Chains A and B, each alone.
Chain A
C-alpha cells in the first residue's frame, strides 16, 4: 500500500493532484458521484483511501454525497466531495446545512460550461457567483481557485486547513482544463506541509457550548461519540445548538457565520501579484484564466503597455480592500474569466467608479487567448 503522502516529483493531472492534496491534508472520507470532468478525483480517492485507513463511497446522487460528507465530518473525519456544475447545483442545500452547522469539509467544483448539462467536457468559470450565493440565505463562504495542478495540490491542503480552522465548508473552484491537464507536481516531505485539524473541546462536558466561539470566532468541535451529547440542526440555533427561531438568534448566528470569515481576511485571502509595481493596467484573474492573464501581461509589456496581474487564489471572500487600493493607483482594471462577467462585477463594485473596469470573457467552451486580452486592452485604453 502506498503511504498517504507521496513525497517526490510526479507528472499527474490536476484532478489527481487534488486527490493527493486531500490525502496529504488528512482527508479520510470521500462521498462522491461520477460527473465529468471531476470523476477522476473520485476514482483516485476510491483507489487510495482504503490504503490509508480511509473510506470511499459512491452515493446515489450528489445530494446524498454532500449529506454523507457532513455526516462523516461530524463523526470526526476530514471529509470531501468533488463534482461539476449539475452536481454542484444539487449539493447547494446541504452546503447551506454545512455553513449553518459550521461543519468543516471541502467541496471541489471542476467547472464546465453551463447552464444545465451545458458543455460536460469543456471549460468554463461560470459557477463563481453560485459558489458565493448558491445556497439560500445570507452567509459567507471561502472559495479558492488554483491555476495549475501543483497549485491545486497545495490549495486542497489549504482548503482543508481553512475548513478545520474556521469550521466551514470550503469550496475549490477549479475548472476542466486545470483538472485534466498533466503537469509536474512536486509533493514535499511531511515536515514541509502544514496541516491543521479542528480544535476539540476540553473541560466540563455539561458546560460545553457547541457554537460558543473560543478562538478565531469558532467553537471547538467534538465528534459524535465523544460523549458531549451534541445537538446539531439546520434551524436557526443558539450557542448550545438548540433551535431558537427569534430575530436575535438569527442575527447572532448569521453574524457569527459571516464574522468568522470577515474578521480573518488576512489569513484567508491569498493573491499573487505579477509585475504590478508600476502597472497602469491591472489584470484580475483566477484559475485557468490566470495563466492567460499572466501571458497577456508579458505580451502587453513587450508592446510597451504597463500591465500587471493580480491573481486571486482566494476568490471568496473577495479581496475588496486590495481592489479598492488599486483603484486609486491604476488607470484601468481588466478581468479575465470564462463567463460573461461575474468576478468582473465585483471588481467594478470595488472600483466604485474611480477606475474603469473591463471584462475579457466569453460564455465558455474554450480558453481565452492572451492575444485577445492584449487587443482589448489596446481598444479600451
Chain B
C-alpha cells in the first residue's frame, strides 16, 4: 500500500478523508484540472497547522475553484461571484477567533472581485486568500480573464487576447498584503508549506497557485495537459524575495515562484481595537 494511504479496518482511508464531505463526491473538476491538487494542498496545510478545525472557515466565490467550499468539511460558504473577500471580512471581524481562508479563482478574485481584493489587502484584514490561477474562466467554457496572457486564444478572444494580464503578486504587494507567494500546483510541497505559513501569520496573506485548465485554456492554446506541467517544471525558477515587478506570468520567459513578501504589521482589527477601545 502506498505511503499516503492508511489502513482503517478493511477500508483504505485517505489522509484528508475527514477534511472533505464525502457525500458530495464526485467533484465537478475535469480530468487534468489542477484545482483538486491546490485544494488538497490547502486542506493538508489546514490539517497540519494544528488549528482547531471547528474554528476554520472557508469562503469561496463563483467558478470552478469556487466549488471548493462545498467539498470541505469545515464551516464553508459559497457566496456570490467576486464577493468572497468582503463576505470573509464580515465573518472575520464579527468573530476574530475564526481562521478564515478564501479559496477561489482568478476570474472571481481579480476581475469582478478585484476591488475587494485590493481593499482587504490595504486594510490588512487577517485572512488568507488562495487563488487558483488557470488563466481563464473555466466554468463558463473558457473566456478571457484578467490573467489571460496577451495573445492567448479564448472563446471571447478568438483571434488572440489584446489585453495585458495582471501580475497578481505585484498587485497584492502594491495594495499592502502582509504575505505574498506564488507556486504552481506541481510544487505541491512548497505550496502546502506556504499556505500553512500564511494561515498562522497575522494579516492579509495571498498565495497564487498556477494551475492548468486543459479542457478550456490548454485545448485552444495547443497546450496538452502534460505540456503545462512540463512548463511548470522547466520554465519556472524559485526566487524568494524577488521584486514583485519581475513577476509577470509570461511563458516566453521564466516564471518566478517563491515567497515575495512576509512582513509584520498590525491588522485592521488590532488597529480598530487600539484606537477605539484603548482601555481594554
User: Which of the candidate stretches B80-88, B148-156, B255-263 sits at the interface with the other chain?
Assistant: B80-88
Chain A residues near B74: list those with CB within 8 A: 229
Shortest CB distance B42–A (Å): 16
Q: Which of A70-109 contact B (CB under 8 A)?
A: 70-77, 79, 93-94, 97
Q: Which of B93-101, B182-190, B195-203 contacts A (4 or more CB under 8 A)?
A: B93-101
Whether B86 lies near A68 (C-beta < 8 A) is yes
| A93 contacts B80, C-beta separation under 8 Å | yes
Residues from chain B with a CB closer than 8 A to the CB of A229 are 54, 73-75
Q: In this assembly, does B119 line the interface, its C-beta being within 8 Å of a C-beta of chain A?
A: yes
Structural contact, A68 and B87, CB atoms closer than 8 A: yes
Confirm or deny: B89 has a beta carbon within 8 angstroms of a beta carbon on chain A: yes
Knowing A55-B272, A64-B119, the reply to whether A225 touches B90 (Cβ < 8 A) is no
| Cα distance A315–B93 in the bound complex, in angstroms | 33
- The interface residues of chain A, by DSSP majority, are classed as mixed
Q: Which residues from chain A contact B76 at a C-beta distance below 8 Å?
A: 230-232
Q: CB-CB < 8 A to A60: which residues of B?
A: 86, 115-116, 119
Report yes or no: A97 in contact with B119, Cβ–Cβ below 8 A.
no
Q: Known: A97-B79, A229-B73, A231-B69. Contact between A71 and B98, CB under 8 A?
A: no
Contact A72 B57 (CB under 8 A): no
User: How many of chain B's residues touch chain A, expressed as a range?
Assistant: 35 or more
Residues on A with beta carbons closer than 8 Å to the beta carbon of B69: 231, 233
Which of A31, A59, A61 has the most B CB atoms < 10 Å from its CB? Answer: A59
B70 close to A233 (CB less than 8 A): yes
A29 CA / B23 CA spacing, docked (Å): 35
**Pair B98/A75 contact, Cβ less than 8 Å:** yes
The interface residues of chain B, by DSSP majority, are classed as helix
Does B109 interact with chain A (Cβ within 8 Å)?
no
Given the interface pairs A50-B276, A242-B70, the reply to whether A75 lies near B94 with Cβ below 8 Å is: yes
Shortest distance in angstroms between B129's beta carbon and chain A's nearest beta carbon? 14
Chain A positions 50-64 with a Cβ under 8 Å from a chain B Cβ:
50, 55, 57, 59-61, 63-64
Q: Please report which residues of chain B, range 44-70, place their CB below 8 angstroms from some CB of chain A when the two chains form the complex.
A: 54-55, 57, 59, 69-70
Say yes or no: B91 contacts A231, CB within 8 Å.
no
Chain A residues with CB below 8 A from B98, complex form? 75, 224-225
Q: Which residues of A contact B232 (CB under 8 A)?
A: none
Cβ of A195 within 8 Å of any chain B Cβ, yes or no, is no
Residues of A within 8 A of B59 (CB): 71
Shortest distance from the beta carbon of B271 to any chain A beta carbon, whole Å: 12
Whole-angstrom CA separation of A243 from B83 in the bound complex? 19
Task: Bits for A222-240, please: 1 = Cβ < 8 Å to B, else 0.
Answer: 0111111111111100000
Instruction: Find out whether the CB atom of A55 lies under 8 angstroms from the CB atom of B94.
Output: yes
Sample 8 A-B pairs with CB under 8 A, ordered by A number.
A61-B115, A67-B79, A68-B90, A71-B86, A71-B87, A224-B77, A228-B75, A230-B75
- A interface with B by C-beta (< 8 Å): 28-29, 31, 50, 55, 57, 59-61, 63-65, 67-77, 79, 93-94, 97, 223-235, 242-243
